[in-house]
Amino acid sequence: MVEDRRLGDAIAYVILTIGVLIVAFPVWLTFVASTWDAATVINGQMPLYPGPYFFENYNRILFIGSSRTTREPVIGMMLNSFVMAMAIALGKIFISVLSAYAVVYYRFPFRMAAFWIIFVTLMLPVEVRIFPTFKIVSDLNMLDTYQGLAIPLIASATGTLLFRQFFMTVPDELLEASKIDGAGPFKFFKDTLLPLSMTTIAALFVIQFIYGWNQYLWPLLVTTKDSMQTIVIAIKKMIVTADALTEWQLAMATAMLAMLPPVLVVIAMQRLFVKGLVETEK
């Protein structure tokens, strides 16, 4: 029996290792490519270990910018991406937690109708309604602004749905105890419901931050100035297909940098996730 388990463990490790290698290899390759000079990357014989150009490449892309295609330093684009992703994530959480609270706890006329209208927007993502949305943003003079980047992506049925499901699992007795303890609707929301929703909020934040960070089509449409570009667009612009030579080492460095904030968010929020899983707060 003991032998058997060891063998099973070994097989599991082998499979896991293969899986990790498959996932990690492209990332490693990207990193390695970002530490060599253009010639080494281009000639097709790039070594699989990091080269000596790490500081030079990253310094150049972060603070000076790629000379050929995008003239802006990447640090500014990272800031744009960060502002947009944060605005989308926080805005979505704010709006969906409030609308879910209204739908679950208030008995107003056409409550279910309101809920279903929110629900139906799940079928209308930005891509489907992109022209009217662009028209509105442009009429409101929000092209090339952070508002224009973030607000149309904030409306979200997913978040409302998620919070609604969570609120419905909160026992009614808690609301009643709050009433007797003299907490009004807002106090109940602030003192009881929000603290209990912390893990749900963290989950939604991670998902929505990455969603916002990865946006491509919408920022491409509403930004025309280089200074308002997001980093995802920058990567695309650096990879030129026509008459110019792609500076692969810089494109790879940008890709590495673009990966960094989502990874940091996941790592930071992971602790809240685990806490939410281990200690059930209900």
Q: By C-beta, is 129 or 179 nearer to other proteins?
A: 179
Report if residue 43 touches other proteins, rule: CB under 8 A: no
Angle between helix 74-105 and 146-154 (nearest 10): 30
Give residues 87-116 in contact with other proteins (rule: CB under 8 A).
none
d(CA 58, CA 74): 9
Output DSSP code: residue 246: P
Q: Report in angstroms how near the CB of residue 274 gets to other proteins at its nearest.
A: 16
Residue of 213, 249, 252, 206 lying closest to 232 (CA atoms): 213
Q: Report in angstroms how near the CB of residue 278 gets to other proteins at its nearest.
A: 11
Which ranges in 34-129 belong to alpha helices (H)? 38-42, 54-59, 74-105, 111-120
Q: By C-beta, is 24 or 198 nearer to other proteins?
A: 198
Q: Which of 44, 171, 245, 267 binds other proteins (CB under 8 A)?
A: 171
Q: By C-beta, is 4 or 173 nearer to other proteins?
A: 173
Distances (CA, A) of 235 to 45, 71, 228, 247: 23, 12, 14, 11
Distances (CA, A) of 198 to 98, 121, 210, 246: 14, 25, 18, 45
Q: By C-beta, is 7 or 198 nearer to other proteins?
A: 198
d(CA 72, CA 230): 11
Report if residue 183 touches other proteins, rule: CB under 8 A: yes
Q: By C-beta, is 80 or 178 nearer to other proteins?
A: 178
Q: Which stretch binds other proteins (CB under 8 A): 69-77, 125-133, 190-198, 270-278?
A: 190-198
**E strand spans, the chain:** none
Q: By C-beta, is 81 or 197 nearer to other proteins?
A: 197
x-or-dash string of contact with other proteins, 114-143, rule CB under 8 A? ------------------------------
Q: Which of 182, 243, 267, 277 binds other proteins (CB under 8 A)?
A: 182
Q: Which of 111, 187, 271, 275 binds other proteins (CB under 8 A)?
A: 187
Report if residue 282 touches other proteins, rule: CB under 8 A: yes
Q: How many residues bind other proteins (CB under 8 A)?
A: 19
x-or-dash string of contact with other proteins, 251-280, rule CB under 8 A? ----------------------------xx
Are 200 and 163 contacting, i.e. CB atoms less than 8 angstroms apart? yes
Are 206 and 265 contacting, i.e. CB atoms less than 8 angstroms apart? yes
d(CA 126, CA 112): 24
Q: Report in angstroms how near the CB of residue 114 gets to other proteins at its nearest.
A: 20
Q: Is 245 left (phi over 0), alpha (psi -120 to 50) or beta?
A: beta
Q: Which of 6, 129, 179, 275 binds other proteins (CB under 8 A)?
A: 179
Which spans of this chain sit near other proteins (rule: CB under 8 A)?
Answer: 171, 173-174, 176-177, 179-183, 187, 191-192, 195-196, 279-282
